């Protein structure tokens, strides 16, 4: 897996390079600000760009704006935002359009390098990796179609947004895989998602509530 890493903290940036290289990842370039990130991605076309949100010069939202631009200019490159800030509005900006090949993880909540690498691989493969806290804050905005969901259906949607498979959701919620399928089908129906392939519907379910958050 080929990566570009954007992080303004030199110590954290070099530490990420060392840890990810030890896990078999190839770090093609690193960047300390948004302009360097955009240039590095244009030059190397990585599988995934890892992006911090608050970067020079103002340390406000340069990273998320660069991530959104990458999603437009390089749709084949996965984008994983890795930040200490849990902001649903930023997540909504990131997930606008096609909610695939994208992630948003919180630095202090990643407990193991293996989990981080798994999230990167999921994003590189076109999946979604969202921190549960980000999902919780987005769902708590509670807008129209989402209000149709039962508490259990919201739990299932929460875990789908984190990138879990039906089998994984079944284990986490202590129910059968068939029950998860039924809950997922109900979510798709209540969110008015047409019958297509299962993976596409899962991505659209995540995108549906993101769009509602943006309207709220």
pLDDT at 99: 64
Q: Tell me whether residue 136 is in a domain.
A: no
Q: pLDDT at position 141, please?
A: 53
Query: What's residue 195's pLDDT?
Result: 59
Helix (H, G, I), strand (E, B) or coil at 129: strand
Longest CA–CA span in the chain (Å) reads 51
CA distance 109 to 44: 29
DSSP state letters, 10-48:
HHHHHHHHHHHHHTT-EEEEEESSHHHHHHHHHHH--SE
Output the tens digit of pLDDT for each of the chain's 216 residues. Answer: 999 999 999 999 999 999 999 999 999 999 999 999 999 999 999 999 999 988 888 887 889 889 989 998 999 999 999 998 887 777 777 877 666 799 999 988 888 899 999 999 999 998 888 888 887 776 665 445 677 788 898 888 888 877 788 899 999 999 999 999 888 888 887 776 665 555 566 766 766 655 555 455
Angle (CA) 154 159 160, round 5°:
95
Last residue of a domain, one of 130, 150, 167: 130
pLDDT for the residue numbered 117: 94
* pLDDT reported for residue 194: 60
The total domain count for the chain is 2
Q: Which are the contacts of 62, defined by CB distance < 8 A and separation ≥ 6? A: 33, 34, 53, 54, 55, 56
Residue where one domain finishes, among candidates 64, 96, 130? 130
Distance CA 95, CA 210 (A): 7
- pTM over 0.85? The answer is no
The predicted structure's pLDDT at residue 55: 87
By three-state DSSP, how is residue 54 classified?
Answer: coil
Residue 135: inside a domain, yes or no? Answer: no
Q: 111 and 157: one domain? A: no
Q: Where are the beta strands (DSSP E) in 32-154?
A: 48-51, 78-83, 102-106, 128-130
Shared domain check, 117 and 55 = yes
- My answer on whether 113 and 170 are in the same domain is no
The range of the structural domain enclosing residue 179 comes to 141-216
Distances (CA, A) of 36 to 40, 68, 94: 6, 15, 19
What pLDDT was estimated at residue 24?
95
Half-sphere exposure of 174 (CA within 13 A, CB side): 0
Quick one: pLDDT at residue 143?
47
């Amino acid at each position: 897996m080929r990566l570009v890493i954007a992080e303004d903290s030199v110590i954290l940036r070099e530490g990420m390079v060392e840890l990810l290289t030890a896990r078999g990842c190839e770090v093609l370039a690193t960047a300390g600000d948004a302009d360097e990130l955009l240039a590095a991605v244009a030059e190397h076309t990585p599988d995934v760009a890892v992006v911090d949100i608050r970067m020079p010069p103002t340390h406000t939202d340069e990273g998320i704006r660069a991530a959104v631009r990458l999603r437009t200019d390089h749709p084949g490159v996965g984008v994983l935002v890795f930040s200490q800030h849990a902001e649903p509005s930023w997540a909504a900006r990131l997930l606008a359009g096609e909610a695939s090949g994208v992630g948003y993880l919180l630095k202090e909540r990643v407990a193991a390098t293996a989990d981080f690498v798994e999230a990167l691989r999921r994003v590189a493969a076109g999946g979604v990796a969202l921190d549960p806290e980000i999902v919780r804050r987005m769902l708590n905005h509670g807008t129209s179609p989402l209000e149709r969901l039962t508490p259990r259906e919201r739990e299932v949607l929460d875990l789908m947004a984190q990138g879990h498979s039906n089998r994984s959701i079944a284990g986490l919620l202590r129910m059968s895989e068939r029950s998860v399928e039924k809950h997922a089908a109900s979510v798709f129906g209540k969110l008015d998602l047409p019958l297509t392939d299962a993976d596409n519907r899962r991505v659209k379910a995540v995108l549906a509530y993101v769009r509602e958050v943006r309207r709220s």
